Structure 1
Amino acid sequence: MQSQLRSSQFPTIATRIQEPEVFSTLNRVVANTLIAFGISTACLAVFGIGGERDKLFVSENFKLQEYHSKNLDALFNNGAIAWVKKYGQGAVIIDTATDNRWQLPPDITPPPLWIQAQSALMVPIQVAKQVLGLLLLTAPVSAYFDTRDLRTMTIVADTLAAYLYSIHRLKEEEANHQLIASLTEIAQTINSTLDLDQVLNLILEHLDLVVEFDSASILLYEEEARTLFVRAARGHSDMIDALQVRIPLTESSPNYQAIIQQKPVILGDVDKVPGWIKTSSSQSVRSWIGVPLIVRNQTIGMLTVDSHEVNKYQEKDAQIVQTFANYVVTAVANAQIVSQLKNVESSYAALFEDSTDLIIITTYQGEILNVNRKAAQMLRLPKDALVGIELGFLYPELSDFLASQRRRLKAWREASLEIDLQDAYHQPLALEFRVRQVNYAGKDCVQWVGRDISARKEIERMRQDLVDMLVHDIRGPVGNLINIIEMLPMLVEAGNDAESINRMLDLAHQTGQEVRDLLDTMLDVSRLEKGNVPLQRDIHNLQDIMQVVEKQVASHAELKNITLTIEPLPPLPPIWIDASMIRRLLVNLIDNAIKYTQSGGWVRVSAARQKDTLKVSVSDNGPGIPPSEQEHIFQKFGRITTRNGPSGVGLGLAFCKLAAEAHGGSISVDSEGIPGKGSTFTLTIPMILDPQP
């Protein structure tokens, strides 16, 4: 508003608010705001025109009522109300416990919503720089509001400010009942419809009842094109033509003063005004009023009225037009908010449907209200088969959990649950749910966000299996070492010869080597995958390596009554390899063959040279390996599942494959998977005789 308000203009603001028609509208605005934000508590503080304390209204459970307290003066002069009154701006209180703007002296007893609030959103209800009151929303959880909410609430506060100012400005004139009825109907229409054209036409219709005009227009401003275009019109002889008018903004035109300088303009005779542009729909215009439509210091358009009479309008007419312009601003701003909300809802709907997590919305009674695409896929049921049924009908465990967590969820606290379920085809489904209260369709509901943790549980199972297998594989050799250590003193005391003692020491060394090989294999698998193991290559004789291998595995074959045959090697020159890694590779292959071959069977090791390639084969007459599992066995933790089969970590063949590839070679298996025909594993590596410097 362009003029300062006087106390006579607002005899008693709170008295006006308490009139049934006005109070009902304000109650509806506040209630709709609470529903939109998904909360249930707010308060409306009203100041007198001189800034003095008037009344405080509290809305709980969507019902606005006056709050009485002997501490009312202190409540207005401290904390949030005093801060908004002083600075005339809105604010988001992330945490009421730590924000000084919220704090009250300890001797002040505030309304219950003050005590229960953990976050708040407060905006001034003001016209120009005159603060008429404060609208305050509270939530029982911290960080509930953000700056986007503040912008939305500013629109609501602007609506209330325009409504309060208009009613109390015009109520001083008892004869102006029609204006009050018009403004009330406009306010109700703004709050009850999303049709912008309907609201704008209604505003012009009611403006016609209180200000005489021959035609009126609502024009919106395109800043980039510096052009005004007609969005709504009334009274023109050719309405189609009037709605197509576009007026360029020039510094010499009266429109410039209204749009750029944000000032109302009254023209007594447009024919005497330089820069006045007559359009096809304004040829007969003589008197004219143009007031800017301003949203937070930004001009978005104009409301104009005109007459065919000279000097038709006075300042009071411009003030009334300005009042209606405030409603135009509110309607346009609401339309923008609705458009933004639709975009947000559309984005949310897309995010909801496209989420990689299962999402289910239920009532507190367990009725399923909505599910996303992922939920239908994971549960293997169509969406329409899920919506509307009881959660307990599908999964009683979830219904029981909901009942047990109801109080926690009602306090806006999140609950979590890990549970094993089954889909519609009775396949296992391991889920981790995060459950919280949400506002859905204006009601407190429950959102279940479920994530498939089958892979995580499988990793945990594999990790535990690895630990169990590792303990099993190490326990035997470590037990042997302990037995040998305990026997050595007895051998010495018994006077045994050095040869017996050396055999025991040799056995201890061999057992320790098995443990070391097992640990090195585990470490090397991970490092070889990442390429972080530099090979300790040197020139070595394969015959020497095979002798060590035979010595290491011979006792294993003997214990199982397996005939182990290591065929003589063909003449081979020394080759450039990592001897330790190749030794462990061959030990793994031979040990595997011994483990899986039944007692009384045989294992054969042979080698051959093919040009510049060395091939070492390990064959057995064990149960064989099905073709379907032959690729799987070279993966980490990949093992053949057989009844009463040998235990193991499942890293041996993975290590063999990686070690062969680190030498530029490969490893393969040939087996029909027929018991008794066994398998043949073949190591192939290039024979590098003289490495390049």
Structure 2
Amino acid sequence: MEYSPERHNPIIEEAEDSERLRTLYQVTSMLKQVEADGLDINLILLRILDLAVNQLNAAEGSIIVVNEAGQVEHIWLSDDKARDLLSNIFLQNILRTGVAGQVINSQQPLIINNTQDDEHWLPRPGHITSLEPWSVICVPFLVRNRAIGAITIHKPGFAQFDDHDLNLLTAISNQAASTIENARLFEQSQRQLQIAALLNEASRVINSSLDIDEIMHTLLAHMNEFLNAEAISIALVDNATNELVYQVAEGMGAQEIVGLRLPSNQGLSGWVMEHGEAALVSDTSRDSRFNRTGDEKTGYATHAMICAPMEFKGQVLGTIQAINPIAGVFSEQDLGLLVNLANIASTAIANAQQFARIQVAEARYTSLFQDSVDPIILTDLQGKIVEANQCTFSFLGYGRDTLLDLFIHDLHPNLGKLPQLSSISHNEPTIFQSELVNKEGAAIPVEVYVKRMEYGDNDLLQWIHHDISKQVELEQMRDDLTAMLFHDLQGPLGNIISSLELLSYELPEVEPGSSQYEMLDIARRSSQRLQALIRSLLDITHLEAGHPINEQKRVSIYSLIDDVYEVERPNFEQRRVKFVTKLDPDLPSVYVAEDMIRRVLINLVNNALKYSPGDKTITVMAQRADDDGHLLISVQDEGIGIPDEYKETIFLKFERVDRGDPSSKGLGLGLAFCRLAVEAHGGRIWVQDAPGGGALFQFTLPVAGDR
């Protein structure tokens, strides 16, 4: 149960205050003396614990100090020998469910009247509190609203502590907390200074020697001074056999372990290598990843282990491991130290081979660079041309000296097409189309692949220019021909539609369902669909050229969707597909070119019909978009859906989903028109998987507002 001090009568309070002042004076004097002696945290914990036990007439006690991560950093018991018997697992259980853990987490003191019936009391193995009732009082050490630990006092018997004891122990903890924290931080700073000196020395050794064995042995010897482990070793990956081979070792079993080969996917070291993550195992008998092959080879038992991967540029070269801490447990700080060692070791190993690899790579690159049939230009990160291959000089007509005086933007007159040089990365090339100007001033269409690359000690930008003059010419010819054909088709097609309308009035009254009626209806609807296709193609040409939309007006989304259904009703009835609408009430009008957006919806609904078998449902939905300035329109089917690899390209001209069906109809223009039309209205369009299967096409349109 948690306690807070209760009010006493004045006489008792005065006596308690007097006793508390005497105790605080003793604590202050003791702490000043300890600080004068050098802030030894172990000495501080010992004296605070002894003073608290004596002041409370108790039998024994303990102090736990934790770091910022909540891990045990120091522990002190009245029985110094018992401290060495505490396992790391027992300490973790105390912090998770024990008395000290509860007090640290809640930052509130706690009194236990009977240890045998309190769920938070975890007696040490063999301790007398597991056989008879004891009383326990526990108080946190608080510094700047953070619990840095707790002091626990034990006394035999039932209900041996009261509020007076709680107040007294709280006063002691408050007085001592800052000194404990200062001592802890001082110890950390001293250790960090030592570690920094070690790493500096390790770096010096690496930079002054190319003998990997010498470097590894020096590192291991220095590091073991801080890890204080029974053994430490390094294993490298043999890529030919995919095995870990132990190369160097220090400590017990060092001679036996060197040369040992283990499959790289077995044991804790293999797990670390495969996952590229460091690991700390406090009890190897409880970890299924641990492999006993090394113990069998050396004759020594491994009880605890820390292991870290050695990585160089994303590739795991091997592992470094330490086993059996002499002090009792490995900490996260020990693991961090080992990770630093692994980083230094990996650099040493990689540097011994890197120079030869660089030479080979540079020779290979130079060969490919000069033999390429495309112009390749190298610039610095500011765009200054520093090198080019022979093809570049022939392609542009510049002499070497003249070209190397230019910047990349001198060759690309349209600066708006050049990417920001600072945004170009090592990983993926930036691809764009531009025009490259030669010495005579002629602009040559090119597709450019630019990527940041390492070249010696510097980073350069590599610009590969691929001549697309023929491609651009063919595309322009195709666009011109398409525009001409469809423009010339409008006149005859309009005459056909008008003639069909006149014919329907001139013929005698025909019963619906008769063959004459069906043929006339097919001809009328087919010609109307062809007319819509021609309009869409012409619109695509105008929209791609950047022409503005004309005749925008306020349009009701409800009437627009009704119109679409009336147009497509025969197709729904013929295919026996259901048409469902889910439209939010009171939606505002949209500001659009009505015919163009009607064709967008017809295209999407018609597309859904193509891939909807009978008895399925197509749902059209409308609601406000998240930005509140647009409506979100959705067309959902229950068909076969759109594969992920087509969800972006399907909106490009002449792009269709390859379903392996040669009978599948379409030119791949409908969705391209939809994209251009929606984007011209300031909206956007996309496709995703529908819940339960099928495709869900969605697009946004601007609301009319006050327009």
- The normalised TM-score by structure 2 is 0.29
Considering only CA atoms, is the larger Rg found in Structure 1 or Structure 2?
Answer: 1
- The normalised TM-score by structure 1 is 0.30
